[in-house]
């Protein structure tokens, strides 16, 4: 099953926290191997300021997806004000079987 993890940055987080934690975050995502389908930052209306992250992973259950999300160095550092996890099904796009 695929899960979308939508992480909203905490506006009150320490300045520079995202930049400082990014190498560990990227290493963590890389460690997920084939479970990671895609990931990247979300931007505000100005198209420049980062306001969160979106990650699509493959996991056996919602609890497994929660475990993966909570182990992210960004989450551990307290960067996020909230995280939403939803089951998701890809129906179009690269590598999709309809």
93 versus 77: which is more confidently predicted?
77
Q: Across the beta sheet with 50-58, what order do the strands follow?
A: 36-43, 50-58, 2-9, 80-88
Residue 59 pLDDT > 90, yes or no?
yes
pLDDT band at 87 (very low <50, low <70, confident <90, very high): very high
Q: Domain for residue 96, yes or no?
A: no
pTM as predicted: 0.90
Mean pLDDT of 17-30: 96
Q: How many domains does the chain have?
A: 1
Q: Domain for residue 93, yes or no?
A: no
Residue 84, domain extent = 2-88
Q: Domain for residue 97, yes or no?
A: no
Q: Domain for residue 95, yes or no?
A: no
Q: Domain for residue 39, yes or no?
A: yes
CATH number, position 78: 3.30.70.1060
Give CA–CA dist 88/74, Å, rounded: 22
Q: Domain for residue 31, yes or no?
A: yes
What are 30-58's pLDDT values in tens digits? 999 999 999 999 999 999 999 999 999 99
């Amino acid at each position: 099953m695929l899960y979308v993890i939508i992480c909203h940055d905490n506006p009150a987080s320490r300045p520079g926290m995202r930049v400082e934690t990014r190498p560990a975050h990227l290493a963590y995502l890389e460690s997920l191997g084939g479970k990671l389908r895609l990931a990247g930052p979300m931007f505000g209306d100005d198209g420049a300021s980062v306001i969160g992250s979106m990650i699509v992973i493959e996991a056996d259950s919602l609890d497994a997806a929660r475990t993966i999300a909570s182990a992210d160095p960004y989450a551990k550092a307290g960067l996020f004000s909230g995280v939403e996890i939803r089951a998701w099904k890809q129906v179009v796009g690269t590598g999709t079987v309809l």
